[in-house]
Amino acid sequence: MSRLPADVRLALLLVLGVVSAPELRSAPNPRPNIVVVLCDDLGYGDIKCNNPRGKIATPHADSLAAQGMRFTDAHTTSSVCTPTRYSLMTGRYNWRSRLQKGVLGGLSPHLIEPGRLTVAALLKRYGYHTACIGKWHLGMDWAKVEGKPEPERNAIETAEQHWSVDFARPIANGPANLGFDYFFGISASLDMVPYTFIENDRVVAIPTVEKAFPMVAGKPSRTTRCGPAAPEFEAEAVLPSLARAAVDYIGKRAAEARAGTPFFLYFPLNAPHTPIAPSSEWRGKSGLNPYADFVMQTDAVLGQILEALAGHELAATTLVVFTSDNGCSPEADIASLRASGHDVSGPLRGHKADIWDGGHRVPFIVRWPGVVRPGTTCDQVVSLVDLMATCADIVGATLPDEAGEDSVSMLSILRGKADTPLREALVHHSIHGNFALRQGQWKLALCPGSGGWSRPGDAEAAKLGLPAVQLYDMAADRGEQTNVAAERPEIVDRLTRVLEKYVRDGRSTPGAPQRNDTTIDLWKSGKP
């Protein structure tokens, strides 16, 4: 039975009486196991339950939604990965940190400030065993090679900096220093060096050669950055390796979890981000292109996690979150997918990197038997930054003023008891550091264009004479096609003042004012 998909197994357990329906309806373990599956560059429209007209099969995500709650207005705090991961881990907006635009590289120093509370550290205080298995991309402090150029602090390292670290020495200020009992994975995106696995604070195999991988399977003309690699390391083996490690971790923790010691598994995948490298058994499965194949393989990895939970009798006592770090990348060949009838962002405008919703509105599904009513949908505006306050609420913790400054608990939503919006407003951030604020039906963007990679970019939009700010009525115009800033100046003014207050206070939730780590420039090129 353990080889069956998780949803089928759970249904059979109910039929066989191994797990009773009353047991599933009763109060769960007050400290559930928590598993967060974070995809990399998976678009809002890439899963069928969000986009019924989509052409990519995602049976495990769809099944998870049928067993739990699907959020239709969930967002990352940024439209690219490092900033999103910072917010997820800390409950704090990414733009309060030193990183004001772009992403870190694989050799960048740590981004999360020493002493800052993370979700993992919080849960560890409350008796959880904690693990991160997958892509970190929040910086770590590699041992330096004397005389070599320092890797970039706030950007991806240059080719001249690739061999600036001593891979044989321990790594400091990584996941183990931020509340995780165990780490296995890669330092950053799989198109960044070094190409080697890390376990806890050491590389599994020392890079001794240089490698690069095709950005898209079957298309060798464009490759990832060429740099330090372990001889046996191959891109297409990374996702299966991470899946095996996560399944093994669940198995190792199962007995203690059943005995009352829960675990927190943060499982940030490398897929379907570049290099788009589906394993051989998945190539061609979608009938569309390699990206769609990789999405299907990513969905299958979710299925492996669900099956492991069911197989170890943990499904009924585990809260599972399935989401993505930002929208789909143009590397997916969005045009060809659209020509085949698949829209990676569904009805939304834009994609990864953009300030428009296609950049940061993401799939978000939560299953928690006994708490979350199966087959439900929530249209409240929520964010990955809310994980911190939600976990604190679950374990009965009160966050100190200097932690989770922008995190709002979703627990009442999960319990079906949220009749009014929980969040006053939500801030969005693009790859170039442009700001937007969503409050109710209104969305204000402080830039004339996409703020990212879609056309028109901000420079092109300015040349076209487009207004310096954008205001959209998201209730009537989910695709952000009609800018009504000129017709509703009072809304522009009100939302701008809310955003300015959030910056000034160092927080967006109730509590003592805090300091940002640097000066925040809301307008980038000057207020219009």
For the chain, what is the domain count? 2
β partners of residue 224 = none
Q: What is the pLDDT of residues 59-75, one digit of tens each?
A: 999 999 999 999 999 99
The answer to whether residue 23 scores a pLDDT higher than 60 is no
> Would 26 be classed as within a structural domain?
no
Confidence grade of residue 113 (pLDDT, cut at 50, 70, 90)? very high
Q: For the segment 254-305, what is each residue's pLDDT rounded down to a tens digit?
A: 999 999 999 999 999 999 999 999 999 999 999 999 999 999 999 999 999 9
pTM of the entire predicted model: 0.94
Q: Are residues 440 and 390 in the same domain?
A: no
Question: Do 266 and 362 belong to one domain?
Answer: yes
Model confidence at 20, pLDDT cuts 50, 70, 90, reads: very low
Query: At which of 375, 391, 414 does a domain end?
Result: 414
Q: Per-residue pLDDT tens for 371-415? A: 999 999 999 999 999 999 999 999 999 999 999 999 999 999 999
Residue 283 maps to a domain: yes
Residues 450 and 396 in one domain: no
Q: Is 238 in the same domain as 306? A: yes
For residues 474 and 494, membership in a common domain is answered with yes
Q: Percent helix, strand, coil in the chain (nearest 5)?
A: 30, 15, 55
For residue 182, pLDDT beyond 90 = yes
Pair 245, 288 in one domain: yes
| Beta strand segments in 243-391, E | 263-268, 318-324, 364-367, 376-378, 382-383
Alpha-carbon torsion, ordered 180, 183, 189, 195, to 10 deg: 150
User: Residue 119 maps to which CATH number?
Assistant: 3.40.720.10
Q: What are phi and psi of 431, to 5 degrees?
A: -60, -30
Q: Is residue 97 part of a domain?
A: yes
| Within-domain flag for 518 | no
Residue 19 inside a domain? The answer is no
Its domain, for residue 463, covers: 426-505
- Alpha helices for 58-207 (secondary structure H): 59-67, 81-90, 119-125
For 359, the 3-state DSSP assignment is helix
Cβ burial of 376 (10 Å; 0-12, 13-18, 19+) is middle
420 within some domain: no
Q: How far apart are CA 443 and CA 439, in angstroms?
A: 6
Residue predicted with more confidence, 18 or 5: 5
Q: Is residue 14 included in any domain, yes or no?
A: no
Mean of pLDDT over the chain: 94
